[in-house]
Amino acid sequence: MDDESFGDVQRPTPLGPGSGRAGDAIPEQLLAGLNQPQREAVEHRGPALLIVAGAGSGKTRVLTHRIAGLLATREAWPSQILAITFTNKAAAEMRERVEQLVGEESRGMWIRTFHSACVRILRREAEEFGFKDSFTIYDSGDVRALLKRLIKERGADIQGLTPGSVAARISNAKNELHDVDSWARTASLENPLDAAFLELWRDYDRELRRANAFDFDDLISQTVFLLRAFPRVAAQYRKRFRHILVDEYQDTNAAQYALIRELTQPVTRAELPDLRADLPGASLTVVGDSDQSIYAFRGADIRNITDFERDFHGARTILLEQNYRSTQNILSAANAVIGNNFDRRAKNLWTDSGDGAKIIGFTGYSGHDEAQFVADEIVELTSAGMSYSDIAVFYRTNAQTRALEEVLIRTAVPYKVIGGTKFYERAEIKDAMAYLITVANPDDALSLRRIMNVPKRGIGPATEAALQAHADQHQITLRDAMRRVDEIALGPKVAAAIKDLAALLDELSARPEADPGEILRELMSRSGYTDQLRRSPDPQDAARLENVEELVAVTREYRRQNPGGNLIDFLTETSLVAAADELDDSGGQVSLMTLHTAKGLEFDAVFITGIEEELMPHRMAAMEPGGEAEERRLFYVGITRARQRLHLSLAMTRAQFGQVNPAAPSRYLEEIPAELIDWRTPPTTMRATSSQRAVGRWRDLPRESFVTGYRDAPKALPKGPKREFANTITEVRDNSGMVLEPGDRIRHKDFGEGRVQAVTGVDKKRVAEVLFDGAGRKRLLIKIAPIEKLSP
């Protein structure tokens, strides 16, 4: 930690924010190459600045140059700067770019996400606040698990309260900065459902406190409560941070807004007697774009940005509209779509870099067929020289990855799913993490319960209940009850197992500063966890063992990257990783992610898939007030990620929950001018009957773009044999023994017969390039492709 100094914040110049520029002028090299509004945004000084930054308008550049300017002119020490982003990746990028501009001098800035900044404050002030600084953080899975138990205990499930719904309500309330009591005062408790909910929330908060844990929403709201309850603490942070910058301001919720407000209050000598004079509030710079507000569902309030000038006295607003990212065709599509949202401040993105290629549209027969289009196009793009890592595929829901992954694997396109079912959500990883949490935070009963009988120790629900009863009776923690197992009447075998586990955990808890990787390795081997996996005949357990070993490696790597980082540090970091943080540019892989995850990123080529009614707008979102407009913004965000090539695709049928349903093109597609899209059709999969059915469902606004795409396409298609749905190619296949050479004839389950042109790669990664008689040229991963070799 390089920036712990609080008492003697140095002030390089006698001038505070709002008092004009300090001695030195901003070096010309920090302003060179900026357009006029960008330059103004870097140079402006005052109490509050709103930078309305359209997609691709260089806002990160402006932010980093602004920070660099503050440092270069000695208006601020690094320790006086707090920059807040939404993801660690954005924070890391910002830090890196500021470092590039001003070098070493940037050390000591706080560039963090909302959540990690709050964790830092909470840990530092934990004692004052009545918490232990070893607190752990519950993710949404933990929250659900805890609520599930509480609901069951109360018998509240009969009232229709589910873990998901209760979790969402608590989360919303906390984001609105309510606590149980303030919420209770506003609610009408005649409603039995509300009354039950309130009881559950009380139980939940009590359990969290007992477990010495916070949920995600607590991290922000408790920090706000802390600052409000302890003016002296608040004054220290207000004195310290003289320049606060917030990225993606349109996505802030009420709690985050309140946090910013708290931190930008002035400080008086009455609060901090060692001050020479009263200090004005920190200067605040926020950057955002209300057209990219896509997080209303987690409490983001668009009014935070639209009302900024009214909220922060003396605010100045600067608009950035020139786009440096995309071609004009892409921008025109984006502008046309977002133009359908009324009630927005007019903004028009433009570029001077030319029209570029047309947008490519594709309608598949099924989601699988659509995925095949994506794979084929990717092969085409990469053989034309584009790198895999410059390509991204977006979708609305995580469930859509299945078809995409199947086809990409088969086609031997390297890819990485960003977010989604993460590594950390696998059962064995959660087990291992629960062991670590139990060591770091002995009060956490949820994690302890999870591992108590994993691996099997004969500690079943009955034994667990006995332990819990003993704990309740003596007002001790579950962990204490395990230590005092002799006081409970249990079988000798079970008692010994409990004692052993407690002893192992206690031994490692006594070494909080040890290498987390070493702690994990010892836990896994001494608890018998790895042995149990190793002995198992289930081949899946071999994979699980590998995952656990991978986690040990990750943990070791953490210590290498963060010398001295202890177990709590490691757990905090892993709790707060965002999906976008997983991106790794070096990988040479196509990135797959949801449209939400895509925000803030950009790629040369972008595929937006599943542009259908019910999916975009999603049927769940379409019902909510403002949902339709938010879904449109989501589509807009997707479009504006593309630099050169944009592909829009949909399918006429979509499988969901194992059922195949007809799908209609999204209303948003109609909003794109027809001349911008070059509609293609699937080469072999569209049948006249089904396409007519789809056209029939198509809304009766026959815009050119669709008519040409739909009416002409089926006629041009070869009338092949009736195809089955391509959705069912999941049987396990292993062709690793198959030897293929150029010239061989093969038959493919979907593509029919073809001739092998070339074979590349080795071993498991052998890829055949095949020219199919009907389906054209494809690349196939030999090991798993649904193919058979025909006699030569």
Which residues belong to the annotated binding site?
53-60
Q: Are 598 and 640 a contacting pair, CB within 8 Å?
A: no
Choices 63-71, 396-404, 510-518, 754-762; region in contact with DNA by CB under 7 A = 396-404
Report CA torsion sign: 80, 85, 88, 92: negative
Residue 730 as a binder of DNA (CB under 7 A): the answer is yes
From 75, 215, 248, 582, active-site residue: 248
Q: How far is the CB of 339 from DNA (least distance, A)?
A: 22
Determine how many CB atoms are found less than 10 A away from the CB of residue 45.
18
DSSP string, 264-310: TS-B-TTT-TT-SS-BPPPEEEEEE-GGG---GGGTB-THHHHTHHH
Instruction: Return all residues near 74 (Cβ < 8 A) that are at least 6 apart.
Output: 12, 13, 22, 23, 24
556: its two tokens: 């070791």
Determine whether 247 is an active site residue: yes
Q: Are 37 and 318 a contacting pair, CB within 8 Å?
A: yes
Of the pair 6, 423, the CB lying nearest DNA is at: 423
Q: Could you give the residue ranges of the DSSP H alpha helices within 49-113?
A: 59-72, 88-102
Of the pair 7, 658, the CB lying nearest DNA is at: 658
**621, 676, 726, 784: which one binds DNA (CB under 7 A):** 621
> Three-state DSSP class for 768?
strand
Judged by CB under 7 A, the chain residues 313 through 342 that form the site for DNA are none
Of the pair 430, 766, the CB lying nearest DNA is at: 430
> Three-state DSSP class for 678?
strand
Determine whether 613 is an active site residue: no
Of the pair 206, 619, the CB lying nearest DNA is at: 619
Paired sense of beta strands 48-53 and 315-320, if any: parallel
Q: How far is the CB of 579 from DNA (least distance, A)?
A: 4
Residue 505 as a binder of DNA (CB under 7 A): the answer is no
Binding string to DNA for residues 244 to 283, with x set by CB under 7 A, is what? ----------------------------------------
Place of tokens 């923690």: 477
Of the pair 68, 578, the CB lying nearest DNA is at: 578
**389, 463, 609, 735: which one binds DNA (CB under 7 A):** 463
Q: How far is the CB of 273 from DNA (least distance, A)?
A: 36
From 39, 45, 59, 239, active-site residue: 59
The Cα 300–Cα 45 span in angstroms is: 28
> Phi, psi (5° rounding) for residue 651?
-130, 160
Residue 725 is classified by DSSP as P
Determine whether 396 is an active site residue: no
Residue 733 as a binder of DNA (CB under 7 A): the answer is no
The Cα 241–Cα 67 span in angstroms is: 13
Choices 305-313, 397-405, 709-717, 742-750; region in contact with DNA by CB under 7 A = 397-405
Residue 217 as a binder of DNA (CB under 7 A): the answer is yes
From 75, 215, 218, 247, active-site residue: 247
Residue 221 as a binder of DNA (CB under 7 A): the answer is no
Residue 188 as a binder of DNA (CB under 7 A): the answer is no
Query: Torsion over CA of 621, 625, 627 and 630, rounded to 10 degrees?
Result: -150
From 11, 13, 40, 60, active-site residue: 60
Binding residues for ATP are 53-60
**86, 197, 570, 710: which one binds DNA (CB under 7 A):** 86
Residue 408 as a binder of DNA (CB under 7 A): the answer is no
User: In which region does residue 55 sit, left (phi positive, over 0), alpha (psi from -120 to 50) or beta (all else)?
Assistant: beta
Binding string to DNA for residues 624 to 653, with x set by CB under 7 A, is what? x-----------------------------
Residue 147 as a binder of DNA (CB under 7 A): the answer is no
Which residue, 502, 556, 446, is CA-closest to 136? 446
Residue 596 as a binder of DNA (CB under 7 A): the answer is yes
Q: Are 21 and 73 a contacting pair, CB within 8 Å?
A: yes
425: its two tokens: 């959500």
Residue 658 as a binder of DNA (CB under 7 A): the answer is yes
Determine whether 59 is an active site residue: yes
Residue 113 as a binder of DNA (CB under 7 A): the answer is yes
Residue 594 as a binder of DNA (CB under 7 A): the answer is yes
The Cα 378–Cα 384 span in angstroms is: 10
From 265, 292, 411, 685, active-site residue: 292
**397, 509, 690, 708: which one binds DNA (CB under 7 A):** 397
Of the pair 10, 730, the CB lying nearest DNA is at: 730
Choices 351-359, 591-599, 673-681, 707-715; region in contact with DNA by CB under 7 A = 591-599
The Cα 336–Cα 330 span in angstroms is: 10
Q: What angle do CA 250, 252, 254 make, to 5 degrees?
A: 130
Q: How far is the CB of 597 from DNA (least distance, A)?
A: 5
Give yes or no for a cis peptide into 617 (omega within 30° of 0): yes
The Cα 146–Cα 205 span in angstroms is: 10
Judged by CB under 7 A, the chain residues 280 through 299 that form the site for DNA are 294, 297-298
Place of tokens 């941070």: 241
> Phi, psi (5° rounding) for residue 674?
-55, -35
Q: How far is the CB of 692 from DNA (least distance, A)?
A: 26
The Cα 289–Cα 637 span in angstroms is: 11
Residue 456 as a binder of DNA (CB under 7 A): the answer is yes
Q: Which residues are near DNA by CB under 7 A?
A: 86-87, 113-115, 139-140, 148, 162, 164, 171, 216-217, 294, 297-298, 396-399, 402, 419-420, 453, 456-463, 576, 578-580, 593-594, 596-597, 618, 620-621, 624, 655, 657-658, 727-728, 730
Catalytic residue ranges: 59-60, 247-248, 292, 641
